[in-house]
Amino acid sequence: MNNKAEAPSLFGVILAGGSGTRFWPLSRLQYPKQVLRLLGTESMLQATIERLLPLIPLERLIVVTNASQEDVIRLELHKKNWEGVKLVIEPLGRNTAAAVGLAAASLPETAEPAVLAVFPADHYIKEQEEFLAALTEGAHWAAQGSVVTFGITPATPETGYGYIQAGAPLDETTTARRGVRFIEKPPLTQAERFLAEGNFYWNSGIFLFRRDVLLEAMASLLPDLYQGLQALQGDPGPAKVTEIYQDLPNISLDHGILEKISDFVVLPVNLGWSDVGTWGALRHLFPQDAQGNVTLGRTVSLENKDCLIYAQDRLVASLGLENMVVVDTPDATLICPLTKIQEVKDIVAELNRQNMTESICHLTVERPWGEYTVIESGPGYKVKAIVVYPGKRLSLQYHNYRAEHWVVVQGTALVTIGKEVTRVHANESVYVPVKTPHRLENQSPENLKIIEVQTGPYLEEDDIIRLNDDFWR
Amino acid sequence: MNNKAEAPSLFGVILAGGSGTRFWPLSRLQYPKQVLRLLGTESMLQATIERLLPLIPLERLIVVTNASQEDVIRLELHKKNWEGVKLVIEPLGRNTAAAVGLAAASLPETAEPAVLAVFPADHYIKEQEEFLAALTEGAHWAAQGSVVTFGITPATPETGYGYIQAGAPLDETTTARRGVRFIEKPPLTQAERFLAEGNFYWNSGIFLFRRDVLLEAMASLLPDLYQGLQALQGDPGPAKVTEIYQDLPNISLDHGILEKISDFVVLPVNLGWSDVGTWGALRHLFPQDAQGNVTLGRTVSLENKDCLIYAQDRLVASLGLENMVVVDTPDATLICPLTKIQEVKDIVAELNRQNMTESICHLTVERPWGEYTVIESGPGYKVKAIVVYPGKRLSLQYHNYRAEHWVVVQGTALVTIGKEVTRVHANESVYVPVKTPHRLENQSPENLKIIEVQTGPYLEEDDIIRLNDDFWR
């Protein structure tokens, strides 16, 4: 088969919701794993989309996320000029069955039934050619009515993944095999047996099926979900949507549907795949030193063994650690043995219980025009370092409660304050009084950097009244 | 004896040099352990001086430190209005024999020979009354010509301290005993035997002797040191002083003199003493939770055991750690098992080797007028948060290379720029051009806080030309 030929009825559904807990403190509720640049310069989501584009054009990609992550996902797409991707926003996360169902229901019925290929937004796949070949073959079987799953040929007796047992090949022309059953994360002895026996594959979370096949299965196996999705189609208004969504069954596509279908297809694949599910899994994707350590950023590391040490900003010095993960971000540090890494979610739960914002957002926040970092705050003031990318401008806006002092430290700003428009150069400053419409723009080919000192009784992001904006806000 | 009576010929010599390595990253070369506020609101040095004042007035206290720590030591004294304390500055650190010798040589000969009591600046003593009683008694024996050491009654078979073996009591009126010998840090079995036997005491580093007795002992036991000190008396100029000092023997008072004197006195004391020599020793001075953890600052700590976790600024989250120290400061974090804590010096050595400034100074720097914190820096700019204490002012100064933008965010500043003097209130800003004399003053009863944005090609602290200063600079 020709990998490069687009399959005309193939749609990609990318599941990009998440809670931002597993890679805390690098991930946050508003900056989840799928937008992290863990491996290279692209986010996991961007890499997932890039990987599909040879077979599925942007207009047939659907990204499903939830309201608290909408901004950052939209921004990730915007950075690549991928506004053509369809974005489906859940009012809140309700697991993968609901997310896939919502994506399927959002597609119009067509003469040739659509085939949906479902991908997590945050997995790593090394073998691009093999991936596209498998996708083409999977779409072929799905078009004929099968539910298809990618089964990853296991390399180790991994106890952190679910497994799929495969039976006989479908026919002599294909490596695709009949599915026998799904198996939950096994104990080590069982995983070792699976590896030795050879008919067991890791469940990759990648599935293909026809839209009509999925919806029929949903109607019979998850009727509450099916009816909820039907009720959402009539555009019942945001409050009602949230209400309906809250009542949907909180179940994964695997548990709710796939494991209950007797007839499915396993496509064995060797993709160099990793779900990058924990800091420990990430450690295996980086070159290690002779003692098994991965150190990233500004670190001094003496006598450590099998550690992952990541310093995003400041210096992290460590000595005599073994099998430990240390992750340092500008406002929070995590230290934890790799064996306990699954419990990082307990830390995030504790942060939420104590209303600590370190579980929600970072000090540096990306915006479509650039980014800002809160570098200092105290009673009645807040200081930000603001970067505006070349050719970009912030919205025309005003604030009800705060004044702003801007000092340009790099580049030249085109500044609107009230009716006046001036150029402000490095080592010059301007004052933006409270309630005065203003705009900051960078018309130069280089980054503009300013230090903003806000003063006033209320200094939160929701005191921005936008009068005009270049973006979707 | 009456504790409160001042002993007329008693001088206190406080050894306040140090390398700032043991408590890194909290201590730095320019901010050593003795100025840390590890226990309460006073620095170790301040607490050491307060402890002596009932018996020794300020004018008879001598603090010995070295050039790289002179500023911060002077500041510590200034904060308490202790300018009356005599400050002896070594051009560089040359261990305690030289430091004590220099202090002794700096005193004029008097009719009644001076008794010197030597104290480390960075030890903890809980029992103040007992301490003063012991000091009075020690001074009594020292005045009669003995070399006296405080022997701490051991509570545990500690292997981290040196020991002193004591013999028979001097007479029936005193608990003071003849000294037998000094013993280096012993292995555990020996320490256990010492504890069981009962005639062994921890070497506290507190010694008393007459000035003439010390200088005579030095002349005979450390003639190179003695002659070097003699050469320094003629005020040979700074370059020569440094040269002489570099050539002095680098040896401790214990090794160089005390251990070689056959005739000395041990004064057994129960002072609730700790040398606070490591993070592990510090842990024992704080209340521990049921799992043996001490957590200070903004921490989330789950399933930890016997750990010391100190978050100075940001959030430190940890999980499943055992017997570990985590110390987080605004620019550097240390993670290390308590069993390896002695090796933190290796980390500092590595920082020095790599020319990393995190071994030298903090982002927040104290000044006699207040403090500043570097909150952001980049090519051509630096941002500081500056606090000026009530009634204080910075020097009248100018800079050859940088301009400064000041935004007042709290209080009211009296600002001099060139010939103009104005009041600048919160939410107002001023601009200080390059090479223009300027001064910042807080005449109000509350702290003044400003955000300073510096711009220019060179932004270091040595580009300050002071025209007038309220302090010693």
Contact yes or no for B333 and A315 at CB 8 A: yes
> Domains (ranges, CATH) in chain A?
10-274 (3.90.550.10), 279-357 (no CATH), 364-468 (2.60.120.10)
Q: What mean pLDDT is predicted for residues B385-404?
A: 96
Could you report the per-residue pLDDT of A396-452, keeping only the tens digit for each? 999 999 999 999 999 999 999 999 999 999 999 999 999 999 999 999 999 999 999
| Adjacent-strand bridge partners of A89 | A65
Give A 361-400 residues with CB within 8 A of chain B: 373, 375-376, 378-381, 383, 385
Residue B403 in this model has a pLDDT that exceeds 70: yes
Find the distance separating the first CA and the last CA of chain B, reported in whole Å. 44
Contact yes or no for B337 and A321 at CB 8 A: yes
- Establish if B313 touches chain A: CB-CB under 8 angstroms: no
Compute the distance between CA of residue A398 and CA of residue A394 in angstroms, rounded to an integer.
11
Residue A2 in this model has a pLDDT that exceeds 60: no
Nearest CA in chain B to A385: B376
Res. A48 pLDDT band, cuts 50 70 90: very high
- From the list A335, A405, A407, the residue facing B326 with the nearest CB is A335
- Establish if A470 touches chain B: CB-CB under 8 angstroms: no
DSSP letter string over A151-193? EEPPSS--SSS-EEEEEEESSTT-S-EEEEEEE-S--HHHHHH
- From the list A319, A339, A427, the residue facing B336 with the nearest CB is A319
- Establish if A345 touches chain B: CB-CB under 8 angstroms: no
| Adjacent-strand bridge partners of B102 | none
Could you report the per-residue pLDDT of B7-22, keeping only the tens digit for each? 568 999 999 987 778 8
Q: What mean pLDDT is predicted for residues B412-428?
A: 96
- Establish if B360 touches chain A: CB-CB under 8 angstroms: no
DSSP designation for B50: H
pTM above 0.80, yes or no: yes
Contact yes or no for A409 and B300 at CB 8 A: no
Tell which residue, B167, B251, B170, has the closest CA to residue B201. Answer: B167
Could you report the per-residue pLDDT of B164-215, keeping only the tens digit for each? 999 999 998 899 999 999 998 999 999 999 999 999 999 999 999 999 999 9
Tell which residue, B354, B322, B316, has the closest CA to residue B334. Answer: B316
- Establish if B300 touches chain A: CB-CB under 8 angstroms: yes
> Rounded to an integer, what is the distance from CA B141 to the centroid of its chain?
28
- How many contacts (CB atoms, under 8 Å) link A and B? 186
Contact yes or no for A378 and B403 at CB 8 A: no
Smallest CA–CA distance, residue B300 to chain A, in Å, is 7
Contact yes or no for B314 and A336 at CB 8 A: no
Tell which residue, A362, A409, A404, A399, has the closest CA to residue A381. Answer: A404
Q: What mean pLDDT is predicted for residues A2-28?
A: 80
Q: Is A297 left (phi over 0), alpha (psi -120 to 50) or beta?
A: left
Q: How far is CA B385 from CA A100, A273, A380, B367, in A?
A: 50, 48, 14, 13
Tell which residue, B150, B78, B84, has the closest CA to residue B117. Answer: B150
- Establish if A467 touches chain B: CB-CB under 8 angstroms: no
Find the distance separating the first CA and the last CA of chain A, reported in whole Å. 44
pLDDT score for A427: 94
Contact yes or no for B320 and A332 at CB 8 A: no
- The answer to whether the CB of A273 falls within 8 A of the CB of A152 is yes
pLDDT score for B396: 96
Residue B16 φ/ψ, nearest 5 degrees: -125, 30
Smallest CA–CA distance, residue A344 to chain B, in Å, is 8
Residue B445 in this model has a pLDDT that exceeds 70: yes
Q: Which of B299, B321, B339, B455 to mutate to test the interface with A (most CBs of A within 10 A)?
A: B455
pLDDT score for B5: 45
Q: List CB contacts (< 8 A) between A339 and chain B.
A: 320
Residue B122 in this model has a pLDDT that exceeds 90: yes
Burial A428-444 (b: 16+ CB within 10 A, else e): bbbbbeeeebbbbbbee
Q: What is the mean pLDDT of chain B?
A: 93
Q: List CB contacts (< 8 A) between A21 and chain B.
A: none
Residue B452 φ/ψ, nearest 5 degrees: -110, 125
Residue A107 φ/ψ, nearest 5 degrees: -85, 140
Dihedral angle computed from the Cα positions of residues B66, B72, B78 and B80, in that order, rounded to the nearest 10 degrees: -100
Res. A313 pLDDT band, cuts 50 70 90: confident
pLDDT score for A183: 92
Q: Is A51 left (phi over 0), alpha (psi -120 to 50) or beta?
A: alpha
Compute the distance between CA of residue B303 and CA of residue A335 in angstroms, rounded to an integer.
12
- DSSP E strands in B22-107: the ranges are 61-66, 86-90
Tell which residue, B371, B373, B453, has the closest CA to residue A386. Answer: B453
pLDDT score for A469: 87
- Establish if A431 touches chain B: CB-CB under 8 angstroms: yes
pLDDT score for A303: 96
Percent of chain A with pLDDT over 70: 98
pLDDT score for A8: 62
Tokens of B83: 């300018």
Q: What mean pLDDT is predicted for residues B149-159?
A: 93
Helix (H) or strand (E) holding B70: helix B70-79
Residue given tokens 């030929």 in the structure block: A5
Contact yes or no for B383 and A381 at CB 8 A: no
Q: What mean pLDDT is predicted for residues A162-177?
A: 93
Residue B114 CB neighbours (<10 A): 20
Q: What mean pLDDT is predicted for residues A180-192?
A: 93
Compute the distance between CA of residue B310 and CA of residue B296 in angstroms, rounded to an integer.
5
Residue A443 φ/ψ, nearest 5 degrees: -95, 0
pLDDT score for A7: 55
> Most distant CA pair in chain B: distance in Å?
76
Contact yes or no for B317 and A334 at CB 8 A: yes
- Establish if A407 touches chain B: CB-CB under 8 angstroms: yes
Q: What is the mean pLDDT of chain A?
A: 93
The dihedral through the CA atoms of B1, B4, B5, B8 has a sign that is: positive
pLDDT score for B4: 40
Compute the distance between CA of residue A444 and CA of residue A393 in angstroms, rounded to an integer.
11
- The answer to whether the CB of B456 falls within 8 A of the CB of B402 is yes
Q: What mean pLDDT is predicted for residues A259-263?
A: 88
pLDDT score for B8: 62
Res. A235 pLDDT band, cuts 50 70 90: confident
Contact yes or no for A332 and B314 at CB 8 A: yes
Residue B3 in this model has a pLDDT that exceeds 70: no
pLDDT score for B262: 82
Could you report the per-residue pLDDT of A73-127, keeping only the tens digit for each? 999 999 999 999 999 999 998 999 999 999 998 888 887 889 999 999 999 999 9
Smallest CA–CA distance, residue B473 to chain A, in Å, is 29
Q: Mean pLDDT lowest for which of B271-280, B426-435, B442-451?
A: B271-280
